[in-house]
A = this chain, B = another copy of it.
Amino acid sequence: MHPNDPRLRSFIDVDPTSDFPIQNLPYGVFSTASTPTPRVGVAIGEYVLDLAALQAARLIDLPDGVFAQPSINAFMALGPQQWSKTRARISELLRHDNAELRDNAALRQQALIPLREAKLHLPLRVEGFTDFYSSKEHATNVGTMFRDKTNPLLPNWLHIPIGYNGRASTVVVSGAKIHRPRGQLKPPSAELPSFGPCKRLDFELEIGVVVGQSSAMGTMLTEAQAEQMIFGFTLLNDWSARDIQQWEYVPLGPFQAKAFATSISPWIVTREALEPFRVHGPEQQPTPLDYLQQKGANNYDIALEVCLRTPAMATPARISATNFKYMYWSSVQQLVHHASSGCAMNIGDLLGSGTVSGPEKDQLGSLLELSWNGAEPVQLPDGEQRGFLEDGDSLLMRGWCQGDGYRIGFGEVEGTIQPAGN
């Protein structure tokens, strides 16, 4: 039975609303208090399955030590056929009707660790981080607010999957503290800039695409090659300092406004697990240039939600619910464009999709849009309101694909704002 088969069950009890049924098996990196060395695992129900332990016990046939690593990069290097074979093997080992692991009490004790006992680390070594801008709704909203409400999209937007290099050094895992950045600020009314804490701190709901194979400098990618290179997907919060961005970004793009932090969820959901949830994206008009044309259904039906918990609130409140399927440019098109000049791609490259906003007002992927640049603050259930993020705010994103009686979930990516440092 294929690892995606909805009828599969594990010997581990998994609730139908869990993010981590046997049909998912996302990869992450974890450690425990008793064994503090980070290594690779997959999530299953309320457990992490220690793949280094399984490999040491010779239950998975792969080059020695490939999972005894603080990142999945070595495993990704083995290539798509090995990714598929390994997933099938892990699925087999977790099946309710397979005794290999199920009835090996000692190995189960060692290799199945309750998630509440696991510390989750950044799951990949990020080689390069590139952020795109591929939601037509988001780009239209931004253009309406700042450029020209009668002509919000710039002339190149419908032709190019616009993107820019981000900063890999500050990609962190969910839970990492997010320090309010300082930077140069110059509101329109001020004659000179000043330097101080960002006053318009925002989140951006995105999907992160993990590249698992490299491509040579000087070569372009076809749609098929680009798809094969994609290992999996995460949630991604492209924290943004709107005021720092406004003053710095002309003409060479956002820099410090984005460089202070980017958070990703700890579990990389494999491309294979998402296969049943592929959909065609919106019609692309005008027709893209030949090199960007796609035949496949390269978008994904992934429900996404954003929740905010201020210091005064006991539980988070949902402030947005949208879907990854709305994206105008697909991840495959982004990757093809990224390599189009002959730019070499590397194992461990991370692509941010761009803010995911849908067509409705409660489907927006940033406070900039939800509050319409602060003019219509978001109302919270306890009576508070927010234009932008304040110190102590906890911002949480979740994502999942709804199957028949199960979901393929992404876990969550969370960050709490700390006051600007010294």
Contacts and interface: CB of A to CB of B under 8 A. Distances in A.
B154 A251 contact: yes
A253 interface: yes
A253 B256 contact: no
A341 B163 contact: no
Contact of A251 (B253, B260, B342): B253
Contacts of A261: 217, 342
B183 A421 contact: no
A169 B250 CA distance: 25
A340 interface: yes
Interface residues of A, number: 64
A242 B344 CA distance: 20
Contacts of A172: 217
Interface string A185-197: 0100000111100
Nearest to A291: B195
A133 interface: yes
A342 B169 CA distance: 11
Contacts of A127: 168-169
Count of chain copies: 2
A371 B309 CA distance: 57
A65 B346 CA distance: 27
A257 interface: yes
Given A172-B217, A218-B179, A346-B169, A256 B164 contact: no
A343 B259 contact: yes
Nearest to A256: B341
A220 interface: yes
A76 B194 CA distance: 35
Nearest to A343: B259
Contacts of A378: none
24 contacts: A127-B169, A128-B167, A133-B252, A156-B184, A159-B184, A160-B247, A164-B253, A164-B255, A165-B167, A179-B217, A179-B342, A182-B342, A184-B289, A184-B340, A195-B340, A244-B341, A249-B251, A249-B253, A250-B251, A251-B253, A252-B253, A252-B254, A256-B343, A260-B342
Interface of A: 127-128, 133, 154, 156, 159-160, 162-170, 172, 177, 179, 181-184, 186, 192-195, 217-220, 241, 244, 247-257, 259-261, 286, 289-291, 337-338, 340-346, 349, 418, 421
Given A160-B247, A183-B341, A256-B337, 8 more contacts: A159-B192, A162-B252, A163-B255, A165-B166, A169-B346, A184-B340, A252-B254, A260-B342
